[in-house]
Structure formats: structure tokens, C-alpha cells
């Protein structure tokens, strides 16, 4: 493994599992490993599993500019301490912290550190599990900025935005679920597993707004608020249904034009839900640098290149401690907030999280963002380890 400021990675063709359809990754002396002929490769969780591990880790303490609207600098020269971060990255390369594919660190206005391991490629969109929920929340924020919704609408019942429903068939209390309750996983929806599986296997029954009808018909009675937190895909689906109902055109076009295009995110994937709408619980695919752009949008209180894409009030509410889930861990509008311990001191953390180990870490009051992609079986220990290992390197 090479860990200089510029690393050359060579991947023998023989290591590729699907050589006929997936050309080898290449890296040059000007940048990290890439997949050539990317247009021949599908962007999906299934395709990603066929990516072989890199033969060498790529660790860069002076990331290259790629004309992607991300300013770059040098770790050590423009912020942070080089030695502890490189040491952490070398441990990642050695497999001491799970099956991590990339680690990026942004501080003081610049991307100062960029590394790729295993399946990590700078130009391949990594499948995003529950981080997709956070992107969905930001799409709601964009709709508010453009006047399709208001902040007060967050406390309106979900069904009040939708047409073509039959509330006379709803379970008791189902009409009272608000948008904010859905976005904090407090809808109260409880559908028996066998019934939910039947709905998943019956596309005509859940096409379009029929999905909402099916959820609200088949749930147990909804108790009065406040309701118990339960992490589930029904609540994110309700949120995407509201977005589809209030924006001009479709939710899919709105997300692309009003968020992805504006942030310069051109190489991505976003799967379709069984309803026909974009998936909201999981299903997007983003490059690591584009994940950083989402993090910057949050860090900058909804501003991008001088344009207010999302109201600061929405960002503040979405990332706040709206619902306690366990101990010092809280949930906002599809965002997590927890307290880490670094050198014996509590540290406030905002995270976008995805199963398998996709993370965007933000640290309120600090000019620091960390992006991680991985393909672990679970979430991995990084919620604890990353703040412990990274924050001290950026303290005076």
C-alpha cells in the first residue's frame, strides 16, 4: 500500500469477477482509482457486489481538483494533522475497522483527505441504504423553499395532501398521522408482517397513492400522539407520497432538477419503489464526493453556491433531537443525532446513516465533515470509532 500524496494503483485484469461486462479499475498519477467505460456498468446494489477489491489502498492527503465544485487542499498544510489520519487509514486498509470502501474528510472549506479501499472507486456511485431517507427529507425542505409546502404544513395530516383516498376504510386514527410524525418514525403504523409481505408481492395494490391506502387500511389502530418510535419503511414512503402530491411534475423529476442538478450530481442512481415513486427508505446510489455535497448542504444551512436551496429553519428542525430513540441517541426528520465521547468529553454528532456502513458525519460547531462508505454486514463500530480517531487530529 502506498500512502503518499499521490498514489498509483494498478489492478490486474485477472482479479475481476465479471471481466466480460465490467472493465478493470484504473488509477493514474493524477487521481484515485476509477472504473473505465462506466456507461457499460449498471448502478445498483447487485452490480456493486461484483466489484472486486482494489489490490492497493489509495490514500491521498492532497486530493486533486476534479472541477466538481468541491474545493481541495492539503491535510496538514490547510488543516488537520497528517500522521494520525494516515495511521487510521492504514488500519482501515488492513481490515481493522470493517469492510470500508472510502473515507473522505472535509475541513475549513476544503476536501483535505480522500481514500479508497476494497470496492471504493471515485466515479462509481455507492449504494445508499437509509441515507436515502435523509436525502428524502432534504427534498421536502426544497419543496418548502419553493413554496410548495410551508413549515406549518409539516404538522398537517399526511392524508390532507393526497387525492383519491377512501378514509372510510382506514384503521382508527390513521387520518391523524402528520407529515412530521412520519418523518420522525412516529406514525404509529403497525402492519402484520404477513400482510406487509403480501402487499410487497402485489404491485397493483400499491401503485401510486394506493400504497397509502393499503398502509392505512391494514395497520392496527393508531394511538394518540405522542407515539412510540419505530424505524420502518412505511413512514418514509408516506413522505415521498406527499412530495409527489405537492410538487409540479413528479417527485423523481423534482429531486433531479431541484437538488441533484443544482448540486452538480450527475452520476447517480435512484431506484423505483413498488409504488412507482422513487424509493425513500433506501435505494439511491451516490459517489463519495457527492455524499460530501449533501453534507455541505446541511453544514451550510441549506445554501449551495450562494443559493438558498432549503430554509435554514428546516435544516435546524430536521437535524434536531426531536425523538429519543435510546440513551443519548435521537432522531430528527430522517437524521440521527447522538453524543460521542472523545478524550473523555461529550461531542455532539449529526449523522446520515445507512446499513452496511454509509455515513455522513457532521459535528455542530466544527468545520468538519466525514464521509464513509462500506459494505459491512451491520452498521459497524464507526459511530464510536470515527469521532475518537478523527476529531483529535483537527483540534488545535
pLDDT at 40: 60
Around Cβ 7, how many Cβ atoms within 10 Å? 21
For residue 312, which of 320, 303, 324, 321 has the smallest C-alpha distance? 303
What single DSSP character describes residue 373? E
Grid coordinates representing 318? 430536521
CB 136 within 8 A of CB 122: no
pLDDT at 26: 38
Query: For the segment 31-74, what is each residue's pLDDT rounded down to a tens digit?
Result: 789 987 666 667 888 888 888 899 999 999 999 999 999 999 99
Is residue 25's pLDDT more than 50? no
Q: SS3 for 315?
A: helix
pLDDT at 22: 31
- Of the pLDDT bands very low, low, confident and very high (cuts 50, 70, 90), residue 20 is very low
Planar angle of CA 116, 103, 120, nearest 5 degrees? 30
Domains and CATH numbers, the chain: 59-129+282-394 (3.40.710.10), 149-246 (1.20.58)
pLDDT at 38: 66
pLDDT at 3: 42
Query: For the segment 260-313, what is each residue's pLDDT rounded down to a tens digit?
Result: 999 999 999 999 999 999 999 999 999 999 999 999 999 999 999 999 999 999
Around Cβ 265, how many Cβ atoms within 10 Å? 20
Is residue 12's pLDDT more than 60? no
Phi and psi at 292, nearest 5°, equal -60, -40
Burial class (CB in 10 A: 0-12, 13-18, 19+), 270: buried
Mean of the pLDDT values across residues 338-348? Answer: 96
pLDDT at 351: 98
CB 200 within 8 A of CB 274: yes
The chain-wide mean pLDDT, for the chain, equals 91
**Which H or E element spans position 288?**
helix 288-299
Is residue 140's pLDDT more than 90? yes
pLDDT at 37: 67
Percentage above 70 pLDDT, the chain: 91
- Of the pLDDT bands very low, low, confident and very high (cuts 50, 70, 90), residue 339 is very high
Is residue 23's pLDDT more than 80? no
Amino acid at each position: 500500500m502506498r500512502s503518499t500524496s499521490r498514489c498509483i494503483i494498478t489492478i490486474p485484469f485477472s482479479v475481476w469477477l465479471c471481466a466480460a461486462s465490467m472493465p478493470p479499475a484504473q488509477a493514474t498519477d493524477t487521481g484515485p482509482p476509477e472504473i473505465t467505460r462506466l456507461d457499460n456498468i449498471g448502478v445498483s446494489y447487485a452490480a456493486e457486489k461484483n466489484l472486486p477489491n482494489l489490490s492497493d489502498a489509495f490514500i491521498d492527503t492532497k486530493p486533486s481538483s476534479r472541477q466538481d465544485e468541491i474545493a481541495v487542499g492539503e491535510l496538514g498544510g490547510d488543516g488537520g494533522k497528517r500522521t494520525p489520519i494516515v495511521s487510521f487509514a492504514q488500519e482501515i486498509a488492513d481490515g481493522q475497522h470493517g469492510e470500508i470502501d472510502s473515507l473522505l474528510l472535509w475541513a475549513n472549506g476544503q476536501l483535505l483527505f480522500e481514500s479508497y479501499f476494497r470496492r471504493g472507486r471515485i466515479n462509481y456511485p455507492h449504494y445508499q441504504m437509509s441515507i436515502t431517507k435523509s436525502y428524502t427529507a432534504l427534498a421536502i425542505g426544497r419543496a418548502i423553499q419553493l413554496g410548495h409546502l410551508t413549515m406549518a404544513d409539516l404538522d398537517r395530516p399526511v392524508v390532507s395532501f393526497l387525492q383519491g383516498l377512501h378514509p372510510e376504510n382506514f384503521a382508527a386514527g390513521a387520518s391523524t398521522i402528520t407529515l412530521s410524525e412520519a418523518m420522525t418514525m412516529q406514525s404509529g403504523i403497525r402492519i402484520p408482517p404477513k400482510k406487509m409481505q403480501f402487499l410487497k408481492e402485489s404491485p397493483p395494490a400499491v401503485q401510486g397513492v394506493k400504497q397509502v391506502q393499503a398502509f392505512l387500511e391494514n395497520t392496527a389502530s393508531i394511538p394518540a400522539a405522542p407515539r412510540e418510535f419505530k424505524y420502518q419503511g412505511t413512514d418514509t414512503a408516506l413522505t415521498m407520497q406527499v412530495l409527489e402530491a405537492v410538487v409540479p411534475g413528479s417527485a423523481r423529476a423534482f429531486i433531479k432538477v431541484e437538488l441533484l442538478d443544482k448540486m452538480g450530481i450527475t452520476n447517480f442512481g435512484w431506484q423505483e419503489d413498488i409504488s412507482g415513486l422513487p424509493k425513500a427508505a433506501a435505494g439511491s446510489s451516490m459517489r463519495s464526493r457527492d455524499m460530501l455535497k449533501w453534507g455541505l448542504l446541511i453544514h451550510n444551512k441549506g445554501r449551495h453556491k450562494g443559493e438558498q436551496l432549503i430554509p435554514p429553519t428546516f435544516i435546524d428542525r430536521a437535524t434536531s433531537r426531536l425523538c429519543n430513540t435510546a440513551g443519548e441517541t435521537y432522531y430528527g426528520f430522517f437524521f440521527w443525532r447522538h453524543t460521542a465521547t472523545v478524550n473523555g468529553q461529550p461531542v455532539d454528532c449529526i449523522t446520515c446513516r445507512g446499513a452496511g456502513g454509509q455515513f455522513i458525519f457532521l459535528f455542530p460547531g466544527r468545520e468538519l465533515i466525514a464521509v464513509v462508505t462500506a459494505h459491512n454486514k451491520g452498521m459497524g463500530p464507526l459511530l464510536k470509532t470515527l469521532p475518537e480517531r478523527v476529531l483529535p487530529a483537527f483540534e488545535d
